[in-house]
Structure 1
Amino acid sequence: MVKAADRAKNPARSSVWLEKRATRGGGGPAGLDRDRIVAAAVRMLDEEGLAKLSMRKLATELGVTAMSLYWYVDTKDDILEYAMDSVYGEIDLAAVDAAEDWQTRIRLLALDYRRMLVRHGWMSPSAGQYLNIGPNSIAVGHKIHDTIKETGLSLDRRPSAMSAVFQFVYGYGTIESQFGRRAAEAGMSQDEFYVDSVNAFRNDPELTDRIEGLREILDERTSHDDLSALWDRDFGYALDVLIAGIEVMVAREAAEEAREAAEEAREAAEEAAEK
């Protein structure tokens, strides 16, 4: 059993996926299993957020006693790890496999990852607290690594390329998700909330001088009626920039390798001529 105290003492090695859980004697509560518990937890997290999840509330949602949950999980942390891995399973790896080139595969992975973060606003703050080594998470990680490998980048450059793309996606999806949450809490659509919040400081006379250089971009962004289309536009173009950057770096590495090979050939030819 991985207890909360154990996680605090050694977070780098604490995970439900590393736990050697003792088998419970007898049978578990009728109609209850881990998949059902996790599905209910994901629904609650989506609707109420991390702070509202508890074993007691989850048991009430499932129509069982809190003690019934302990046949299948030991702590709330266990449930969160299972829930996180469950939503990683929403990324369509089969569609990635069917794509014709690495550029398309990166776009599909990035878009599905972003959508997952937006659908599940609790994922972003949770991701850094756990090892994320469940089967779905690892499968996604494998696919990202394999796709970056296909670019032709050297081994020592691949982690940087993965970070450039997928840390960007993580940040973008996090901001998009949290913005949606704030709009919902304000009882407004995202379009209304965005225009209202921008105008709140754009039209403040005390801020006139400080935002003067930003008026052009602020006017452009608030000229759109559909914020979701703006999210998509900016994300797509930023992703294009990153992919183009990878292509440039691949070409640069190839040119450097060709230059080094030519230099070695020239030196070999000079040595042969001297003999």
Structure 2
Amino acid sequence: MVKEAGRSARASVWLEGKARRGGRGGGQPSGLDRERITSVSVRLLDAEGLAKFSMRRLAAELSVTAMSLYWYVDTKDDLLELALDAALGELPLPDPEAEGEDWRGQLRGLATEYRALLVRHPWLSPLAGRYLNIGPNSLAFSRAVQRVVRGAGLPAHGVMGAISAVFQFVYGFGTMEAHFSARIADTGLSADEYHRQAMAMVAEAPETAGVIEEAKDILAARGGDTVAEMLDRDFTFALDLLIAGIEAMVDRG
């Protein structure tokens, strides 16, 4: 019980008190290190999903015993937190030394890349917020976002609210898009085929036909020849609305 209480208080692999990146000491399995274990964890999560991920499955992929992994991490949660930060390391960040960069373009770039990351790694969104997210890549992303939003000219008390508005929107949009992509993949159809079939069924069903009829003008005006184009158009417009809101708050003073 005491050990569990200490573990709960620490609540992050990054607050171990000692970074066991090379293992606990002598006797650890050869050919393993934390970086390799993390990389394979990300690959397994991409291929099989969060529900199927386990220490035993990871050990089999690495051709080691499950106990070998405990030279490098204490629990599966440690591995998931490491994998989460590794995935965030894929995000390209704007150069803080670059001159003449507009905060709007930088914010759009960060938001667009984060959306793509959530879709590329569907297991990421359930983990975000489960941990402290204080790994080096997470902190680098947070610093970049804060610097860009500060550059808009908002008062200090409004910066975190603006960040929340933009990136919680991106989180929701990217998470739903990832769910949509997974559902399509299960059917074996392309995104456009699935969309056409689903819309046809919904339009013909008595329970939902009226809703589709009422929204016909909105759906027609949405534009885009493909599902990808429609999603991009919706995302871009919503992000523009949020940026316009930040500009309005700056002008309000």
* TM-score, structure 1 normalization: 0.83
1:92: which partner in 2? Answer: 92
Per-residue CA shift, 1:53-87, capped at 9, x if unaligned?
A: 00011011111111111111111100000000001
Cα distance between partner residues in 2 of 1:107 and 1:51: 32
Count of paired positions: 248
**1:210 CA drift (Å):** 4.2
2:115: which partner in 1? Answer: 114
**1:195 CA drift (Å):** 2.1
Higher relative contact order (CA closer than 8 Å, sequence separation 6+): 2
* Counterpart secondary structure, 1:25: coil
1:141: which partner in 2? Answer: 142
**1:6 CA drift (Å):** 4.5
**1:203 CA drift (Å):** 1.5
Evaluate the alpha carbon distance shift between residue 224 and residue 151 of structure 1 in structure 2; reply closer, same or farther with a 3 A threshold.
Answer: closer
Evaluate the alpha carbon distance shift between residue 228 and residue 96 of structure 1 in structure 2; reply closer, same or farther with a 3 A threshold.
Answer: farther
Evaluate the alpha carbon distance shift between residue 146 and residue 64 of structure 1 in structure 2; reply closer, same or farther with a 3 A threshold.
Answer: same
Cα distance between partner residues in 2 of 1:33 and 1:60: 16
Contact 1:97/1:105, CA 8 A, preserved across alignment = no
Cα distance between partner residues in 2 of 1:92 and 1:209: 44
Q: Does residue 1:123 correspond to 2:133, yes or no?
A: no
Specify the structure having the higher radius of gyration (Cα). 1
Structure 1 residue identity aligned to 2:103: W
Q: Does residue 1:18 correspond to 2:15, yes or no?
A: yes
1:207: which partner in 2? Answer: 208
Evaluate the alpha carbon distance shift between residue 107 and residue 224 of structure 1 in structure 2; reply closer, same or farther with a 3 A threshold.
Answer: closer
Structure 2: where are the runs of 5+ without partners? none
1:258: which partner in 2? Answer: none
Structure 1 residue identity aligned to 2:14: W
Summarize the alignment of residues 162-177 of structure 1 with structure 2, pairs less than 5 Å apart: 162-177=163-178
**1:170 CA drift (Å):** 0.6
Structure 2 residue identity aligned to 1:61: E
Structure 2 residue identity aligned to 1:194: H
* Counterpart secondary structure, 2:101: coil
**1:161 CA drift (Å):** 0.8
Contact 2:224/2:233, CA 8 A, preserved across alignment = no
2:181: which partner in 1? Answer: 180
1:189: which partner in 2? Answer: 190
Q: Does residue 1:57 correspond to 2:57, yes or no?
A: yes
Evaluate the alpha carbon distance shift between residue 109 and residue 173 of structure 1 in structure 2; reply closer, same or farther with a 3 A threshold.
Answer: same
1:150: which partner in 2? Answer: 151
* Counterpart secondary structure, 2:181: helix
Structure 2 residue identity aligned to 1:227: V
Cα distance between partner residues in 1 of 2:13 and 2:70: 14
* Counterpart secondary structure, 1:168: helix
Per-residue CA shift, 1:132-186, capped at 9, x if unaligned?
A: 1111101111111111111111011111111111111111111111110111112
**1:215 CA drift (Å):** 2.4
* Counterpart secondary structure, 2:210: coil
**1:101 CA drift (Å):** 1.2
Structure 1: where are the runs of 5+ without partners? 254-275
1:250: which partner in 2? Answer: 250
The percentage of aligned residue pairs carrying the same residue is 53
Cα distance between partner residues in 2 of 1:197 and 1:13: 47
* TM-score, structure 2 normalization: 0.90
Per-residue CA shift, 1:174-212, capped at 9, x if unaligned?
A: 111111011111222222222222222121133333443
Structure 1 residue identity aligned to 2:11: S
Contact 1:124/1:170, CA 8 A, preserved across alignment = yes
Would you identify which runs of 4 or more consecutive aligned residues in structure 1 move more than 6 Å? none
